Amino acid sequence: MDAIVTAGGIPQPGEPLYDFTKGEHKALLDIAGKPMIQWVLDALDEARSVEKVVIIGLPENCGINSKKLAAMLPNQGEMLENIRGGVNKLVEISPQAHHALAVSSDIPAITGEMVDWVVATAMETDDDIYYNIIKKEVMEKRFPTSKRSYTYLKDITLCGGDLNVIRTNTVLANEATWRKIIAARKNVFKQAALVGYDTLILLLLRAISLDQAVKTVTKRLNVTGRVIVCPYAEIGMDIDKPHQLEILRADLARRNAP
């Protein structure tokens, strides 16, 4: 399977990481002696299941490397355009590609073993979207001070992962659906329009199970999908705030220690 790595984010003044990036790409933040995205690329290089890598959002001369790098694309604009641009390039390079990994550049603690687990688990079925979630207890055992945001359901408390699997045709053929998904990420009213106010109320009341939520959302989006309960907290440990940056700098410095 090929992988798309999204790396277009540049924190703006007033945003939590601006004092660390100073107008530069978030993906190039130093983490224990390497750019943040380099840790992600090293994991993809290590993964036996990954064949080619496309990076979106960084200039070609930014000093990163991957033995599997097939293309680097400039920032395409919004997240949807970056994902679609990456999928278009992958299909151009490998017309037979049916699924792809969508990987955020800000999860530097992942390893090749974790990537291989996600690919193998996803490909047990043939769905359009596979979304990794991490249980609260798994995240807090591994990163007890991470202060993640959680979703509370009837049967599970979870946070989302940033390494997922998507069907290439679904991304390229259903622009309207993907625009709805991206637009709804952090807006409760758009989420309500997307999944239905009845479902949103059940979510807010913690009266819906994970299985019910998945069935409802995929039906309304007219896609097939699976939620994967991931045992690896690292897949959900993205860097959005300074304290998360410091947690992972310390964690990966220990990994780098002789």
All domains in the chain, ordered by first residue:
2-131+160-172+224-256 (3.90.550.10)
Q: What does the pLDDT read at residue 189?
A: 47
| Mean pLDDT to the nearest integer, 47-52 | 98
User: Whole-angstrom Cα distance, residue 151 to residue 140?
Assistant: 14
Q: What does the pLDDT read at residue 188?
A: 46
The CB-side HSE value for 90 (13 A sphere, CA atoms) comes to 32
H or E element in which residue 72 lies: strand 69-73
User: Whole-angstrom Cα distance, residue 169 to residue 91?
Assistant: 9
Tell me, what amino acid is at 83? I
Who wins on pLDDT, 48 or 203?
A: 48
pLDDT at 193 over 80: no
Q: What does the pLDDT read at residue 87?
A: 92
pLDDT at 183 over 90: no
Q: What does the pLDDT read at residue 116?
A: 98
Residue 236 and residue 160 in contact, taking contact as beta carbons nearer than 8 Å: yes
pLDDT-based confidence at residue 9 (cuts at 50, 70, 90): confident
User: Whole-angstrom Cα distance, residue 177 to residue 174?
Assistant: 5
Least confident of 51-65, 72-86, 94-108, 152-166: 72-86
200 burial level (CB within 10 Å; 0-12, 13-18, 19+): middle
User: Whole-angstrom Cα distance, residue 117 to residue 125?
Assistant: 14
pLDDT, tens digit, 9 for 90 and up, residues 141-182: 999 999 998 888 889 898 889 999 999 988 887 667 666 666
| Mean pLDDT to the nearest integer, 216-221 | 79
Q: Show Cβ contacts of residue 15 under 8 Å, excluding neighbours closer than 6 positions.
A: none
pLDDT, tens digit, 9 for 90 and up, residues 219-241: 877 888 899 999 999 999 999 99
Who wins on pLDDT, 14 or 182?
A: 14
Q: What's the predicted TM-score (pTM) here?
A: 0.90
